[in-house]
RNA sequence: GGGGCGGUAGCUCAGCUGGUUAGAGCGGCGGACUCAUAAUCCGGCAGGCCGUGGGUUCGAGUCCCACCCGCCCUACCA
């Protein structure tokens, strides 16, 4: 058992009141690709996702549906949120629910510690409150409706005036420490535009913030004041530590796990929740004397028809709408390759279909077909021994080395589209190689048999490398390739192959049994 | 109001510190080939007032100013 620090990646925990859409799926897939890649570098990895289940909105929806909040969230988690992970082929190590005992316990321990450390005090607050946002608004935040009513600018719904005796977190104490931290760690928030936004916000000075609610019952009670619950955001953020054992004593297995996994290496977040993760969260951790996350990465929006995807505009798309037609692998491939991670990206069915057809069906899928078909046809499905290599063969090996190095460096910096582009470039090089070497002509001349065998071997050995490189993105399809080229009995499970050794030539042994399967990515004629 | 980002071929986007005829992929057209999912490979073509209007410069998509449009952050007056 290794004591190495695990590479720890998190998604936001998703608010159960929403239906899962491709925006949620996008974040989750990104984390899955990232963690699968790191696992294939031989690293210890921990990948966490989960659900955020407390707050007034959930409480009211449950009530409207005639259920208790506990029953209501249980139903949503099991009918909507957990199935999405299976739909997308996500290999998370854990799934945290804020309603779970370990989380509620950890939250109580955490805030008690902050109170003991002197960062929590009592005060009265009066002001407009938006239930949709679950937060107090400043009068200046509000917009006025046509009939003079004060509305929340985000939800365009009337605010409620509340006067509360609350507990407050001394956020103001962390203005300078946070600035110092971000000055020292200029990559702790990415992309750069997000970093600049965060630093600029902190520079303008931080105000203390209310961390509890008295009018809400669906939440985690304060350990020292059972009339109040922890404000939902200051409950939710803690999932990143409660899930891995915070709150357990250090000599227990849970406590040891916390020490091995924390701090997070990457918090993946949408840019809408950047401030919570890059300002409030690190301040809370400082107050608790815990290490800070190494990176918060804010990705962009998925745009549909040029606008941010939205349920009210009927542009919200469920992941299954896409996977039912194209499959989970194509879903993962499309969103990771077509959109530069960190920027907004356009989704359209036309683009999805076009890239699927060109890059997966005609490009990669067809390459697998032609390689396996020829080994079956010319060599009875037994991978032949290669003869002497020519320049063409060596050039292809060189391009594999270059592609794998570029892919690794891109994946390490979360530039998924560049990583995939590097691998796709190698696939295209192999297709070109096949066309130029014309093995079907070599097959017609017995004297050319050694050369034919070399070409067929190069093709299959290339597929071996492609399967390893693409496994993080398309695990199911690449597992199929792994099996078709007969790699499994000789090389073991695909997921255990190290991406940093992928370019070492000659790993697939001659004699491997090659089989032709059905279309890896069948052509799809109709678009929904 | 202030700040930031984006507005480049039909579509999605590259174009660093200004320099010869502004690029890629996809789509469209032509050719080669037949192992393969009518796939692959090659070639050319098309076609873009590089958001608008000024300015600096021998020369600007690339710098400066103003403005228009989209989005984000932030502040706020009646």
Rounded mean pLDDT, A270-276: 90
Give the pLDDT band (50/70/90) at residue A433. Answer: very high
pLDDT in tens, A332-362: 999 999 988 888 888 888 889 999 999 999 9
- The answer to whether position A340 is within a domain reads no
Provide, in whole angstroms, the distance separating residue A306's CA from nucleotide B13's C1'.
Answer: 14
Which is the catalytic residue, given A74, A105, A133, A490?
A133
- The answer to whether position A404 is within a domain reads yes
A379 in active site: no
- The answer to whether position A427 is within a domain reads yes
More confident residue, A4 or A63: A63
Longest dimension (CA), chain A: 92
CB A268 within 8 A of CB A30: yes
* Distances in whole angstroms, Cα of residue A382 to Cα of each of A30, A430, A456, A510: 37, 20, 10, 8
- The answer to whether position A473 is within a domain reads yes
Least confident of A10-14, A74-78, A314-318, A435-439: A314-318
Provide, in whole angstroms, the distance separating residue A421's CA from nucleotide B21's C1'.
Answer: 30
Q: Is the pLDDT assigned to residue A131 strictly greater than 80?
A: no
A133 in active site: yes
Nearest-angstrom CA–CA distance, A159 and A509: 69
Number of structural domains (chain A) is 1
φ and ψ of A169, to 5 deg: -100, 130
Nearest nucleotide to A354 (CA to C1') is: B26
Q: Is the pLDDT assigned to residue A376 strictly greater than 60?
A: yes
- For a pLDDT cut of 90, what percent of chain A falls above it? 73
- The answer to whether position A77 is within a domain reads no
Q: What is the ipTM of this complex?
A: 0.89
Surface-to-core class of residue A215, CB atoms within 10 Å of its CB (0-12 exposed, 13-18 middle, 19+ buried): middle
Per residue, what are the HEC states of A337-364? HHCCCCCCEEECHHHHHHHHHHHHHHHH
pLDDT for the residue A135: 67
DSSP bridge partners of A126: A163
Bridge-based pairing of strands A7-15 and A266-270 is parallel
Region of residue A168 (phi > 0: left; psi between -120 and 50: alpha; otherwise: beta): beta
pLDDT for the residue A2: 47
Domain limits at A433? 349-501
pLDDT for the residue A1: 43
Nearest-angstrom CA–CA distance, A458 and A506: 9
Nearest-angstrom CA–CA distance, A376 and A252: 56
More confident residue, A348 or A39: A39
pLDDT for the residue A89: 97
Angle between the N-to-C axes of helices A328-338 and A319-326, in degrees from 0 to 180, rounded to the nearest 10: 110
Which CATH number goes with the domain that contains A377? Answer: 1.10.730.10
Provide, in whole angstroms, the distance separating residue A421's CA from nucleotide B65's C1'.
Answer: 40
Highest mean pLDDT among A143-147, A204-208, A432-436, A524-528: A432-436
pLDDT for the residue A464: 98
More confident residue, A359 or A4: A359
Nearest-angstrom CA–CA distance, A10 and A261: 12
Give the pLDDT band (50/70/90) at residue A18. Answer: confident
Least confident of A9-13, A309-313, A384-388: A309-313
Which is the catalytic residue, given A5, A157, A181, A308?
A308
pLDDT for the residue A392: 94
pLDDT in tens, A184-221: 998 899 888 888 889 988 988 898 998 998 878 899 99
pLDDT for the residue A319: 92
Nearest nucleotide to A522 (CA to C1') is: B37
A21 in active site: yes
pLDDT for the residue A181: 94
pLDDT in tens, A320-334: 999 999 999 999 999
Q: Is the pLDDT assigned to residue A63 strictly greater than 80?
A: yes
A311 in active site: yes
Least confident of A31-40, A130-139, A188-197, A369-378: A130-139
- The answer to whether position A235 is within a domain reads no
Can you read off the two tokens belonging to residue A358? Answer: 């060109």
Mean pLDDT taken over chain A: 90
CB A328 within 8 A of CB A88: yes
- The answer to whether position A183 is within a domain reads no
Can you read off the two tokens belonging to residue A80? Answer: 């909507």
A460 in active site: no
Other beta carbons less than 10 A from residue A449's beta carbon: 15
Number of H helices, E strands in chain A: 22, 18
pLDDT in tens, A452-496: 999 999 999 999 999 999 999 999 999 999 999 999 999 999 999
CB A355 within 8 A of CB A420: no
Least confident of A44-48, A234-238, A251-255, A260-264: A251-255
Least confident of A56-60, A102-106, A152-156: A152-156
pTM to 2 decimal places: 0.93
* Distances in whole angstroms, Cα of residue A177 to Cα of each of A68, A190, A287, A288, A505: 42, 19, 11, 14, 51
pLDDT for the residue A214: 85
Can you read off the two tokens belonging to residue A127? Answer: 């002001």
Which is the catalytic residue, given A130, A170, A353, A379?
A130
Rounded mean pLDDT, A72-79: 95
pLDDT for the residue A55: 86
A155 in active site: yes
Least confident of A103-117, A215-229, A368-382: A215-229
Nearest nucleotide to A367 (CA to C1') is: B36
CA atoms in the 13 A half-sphere facing the CB of A60: 8
Provide, in whole angstroms, the distance separating residue A430's CA from nucleotide B25's C1'.
Answer: 18
A181 in active site: no
Provide, in whole angstroms, the distance separating residue A379's CA from nucleotide B1's C1'.
Answer: 75
Write b or e for each residue in A139-169: b if 16 or more Cβ atoms lie within 10 A of its Cβ, otherwise e: eebbeeeeeeebbbeeeeeebeebebebbbb
Nearest-angstrom CA–CA distance, A514 and A371: 9
Q: Is the pLDDT assigned to residue A309 strictly greater than 80?
A: no
Nearest-angstrom CA–CA distance, A418 and A405: 12
CB A318 within 8 A of CB A22: yes
* Distances in whole angstroms, Cα of residue A119 to Cα of each of A24, A172, A228: 33, 10, 17
Per residue, what are the HEC states of A253-304? HHHHHHHHHCCCCEEEEEHHHHHHHHHHHHHHHHHCCCCCCCCEEEECCEEE
pLDDT for the residue A215: 78
Nearest nucleotide to A143 (CA to C1') is: B76
Nearest-angstrom CA–CA distance, A403 and A429: 10
Using a 7 Å cut-off to protein CB atoms, list the covered nucleotides of chain B.
Answer: 3-5, 11-14, 25-27, 33-42, 70-78
Provide, in whole angstroms, the distance separating residue A276's CA from nucleotide B16's C1'.
Answer: 34
* Distances in whole angstroms, Cα of residue A214 to Cα of each of A73, A159, A231, A263, A474: 21, 17, 9, 32, 47
Nearest-angstrom CA–CA distance, A230 and A232: 6
- The answer to whether position A397 is within a domain reads yes
Nearest nucleotide to A378 (CA to C1') is: B35
Which is the catalytic residue, given A78, A192, A311, A313?
A311
């Amino acid at each position: 058992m290794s004591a190495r620090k695990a590479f720890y990646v998190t998604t936001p925990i998703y608010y159960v009141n929403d239906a899962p859409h491709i925006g949620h799926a996008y974040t989750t897939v990104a984390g899955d690709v990232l963690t699968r890649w790191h696992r294939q570098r031989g690293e210890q990895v921990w990948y966490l996702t989960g659900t955020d289940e407390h707050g007034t909105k959930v409480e009211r929806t449950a009530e409207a549906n005639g259920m208790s909040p506990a029953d209501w969230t249980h139903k949503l988690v099991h009918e909507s949120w957990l199935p999405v992970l299976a739909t997308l082929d996500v290999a998370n190590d854990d799934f945290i629910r804020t309603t779970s005992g370990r989380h509620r316990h950890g939250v109580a321990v955490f805030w008690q510690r902050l109170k003991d450390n002197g960062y929590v005090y009592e005060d009265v607050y009066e002001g407009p409150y938006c239930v949709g946002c679950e937060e107090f608004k400043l009068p200046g935040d509000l917009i006025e409706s046509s009939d003079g009513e004060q509305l929340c600018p985000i939800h365009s719904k009337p605010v409620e005036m509340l006067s509360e005796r609350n507990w407050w977190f001394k956020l103001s104490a962390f203005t300078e420490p946070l600035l110092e931290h971000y000055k020292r760690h200029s990559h702790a928030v990415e992309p750069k535009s997000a970093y600049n936004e965060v630093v600029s916000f902190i520079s303008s000075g931080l105000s203390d913030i209310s961390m509890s609610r008295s009018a809400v019952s669906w939440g985690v009670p304060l350990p020292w004041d059972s009339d109040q619950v922890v404000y939902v955001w200051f409950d939710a953020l803690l999932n990143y530590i409660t899930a891995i054992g915070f709150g357990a004593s250090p000599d227990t297995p849970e406590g040891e796990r916390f020490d091995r996994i924390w701090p997070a290496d990457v918090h993946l977040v949408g840019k809408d929740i950047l401030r919570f993760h890059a300002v409030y969260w690190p301040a809370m951790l400082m107050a608790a004397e815990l290490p800070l996350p190494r990176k918060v990465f804010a990705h962009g929006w998925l745009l549909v028809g040029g606008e941010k995807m939205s349920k009210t505009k009927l542009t919200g798309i469920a992941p299954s709408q896409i996977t039912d037609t194209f499959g989970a692998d194509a879903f993962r491939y499309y969103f990771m390759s077509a959109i530069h991670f960190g920027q907004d990206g356009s989704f359209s069915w036309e683009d999805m279909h076009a890239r699927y057809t060109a890059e997966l069906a005609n490009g990669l899928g067809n390459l697998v077909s032609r390689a396996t078909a020829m080994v079956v046809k010319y060599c009875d499905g037994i991978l032949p021994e290669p003869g002497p290599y020519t320049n063409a063969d060596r050039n292809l090996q060189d391009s594999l080395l270059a592609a794998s190095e570029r892919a690794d460096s891109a994946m390490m910096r979360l530039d998924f589209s560049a990583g995939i582009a590097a691998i796709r470039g190698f696939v295209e090089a192999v297709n070109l190689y096949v066309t130029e070497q014309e093995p079907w002509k070599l097959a017609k001349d017995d004297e050319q048999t050694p050369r034919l065998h070399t070409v067929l071997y190069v093709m299959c050995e290339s597929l071996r490398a492609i399967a390893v490189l693409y496994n993080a993105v398309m695990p199911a399809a690449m597992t199929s390739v792994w099996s078709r080229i007969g790699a499994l009995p000789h090389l073991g499970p695909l997921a255990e192959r190290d991406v940093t050794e992928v370019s070492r030539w000659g790993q697939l042994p001659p004699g491997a049994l090659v089989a032709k399967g059905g279309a890896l990515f069948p052509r799809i004629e109709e678009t929904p």
